[in-house]
Homo-oligomer: A and B are copies of this chain.
Amino acid sequence: MLDAAARLFIREGVHAVGVDRLAQEAQVSKRSIYQHFESKDAIVADMLRVYGPRVVAGYFSDDKEEHSPRERVLHVYDALHRAAEASDFYGCPFVNVATELRDREHPAAQVAQHFKSELTAYFERQAETAGAASPHVLAVQLTLLFDGASASAALCGGTPLAARLAAEQLWNAAITAGPGDDGS
- A residues near B, CB below 8 A? 11-13, 15-16, 90-91, 95-96, 98-100, 102, 104, 109, 112-113, 116-117, 137, 140-141, 143-149, 151-152, 154-157, 159, 162-163, 165-166, 169-170, 173
- B155 contacts A116, CB within 8 Å? yes
Known contacts being A102-B90, A155-B112, is A144 close to B148, with CB within 8 Å? yes
**B156 and A144 form a contact (CB under 8 A):** no
Cβ 8 A contact of A102, one of B11, B156, B170: B11
Number of copies: 2
Could you say which of A15, A91, A155 has the most chain B C-beta atoms within 10 Å of its C-beta? A155
Complex contacts, A15 vs chain B, CB 8 Å? 13, 15-16, 100
A166 touches B141 (CB 8 A): yes
Query: Which one, B16, B147, B169, contacts A169 given CB within 8 A?
Result: B169
Q: Distance (Å) between the CB of A127 and the closest chain B CB?
A: 13
Q: Which residues of B contact A95 (CB under 8 A)?
A: 151, 155
- Do A100 and B98 contact each other (CB < 8 Å), given the known contacts A16-B15, A148-B143? no
The residue that A100 contacts in the complex, of B11, B13, B157, B173, with Cβ under 8 A, is B13
- Closest B residue to A158 using CB positions: B140
A129 to chain B, nearest CB (A): 20
- Contact of B152 with A143 in the complex, beta carbons under 8 Å: yes
Complex: A146 Cα to B144 Cα, angstroms: 8
Contacts of A169 in B (CB 8 A): 169-170, 173
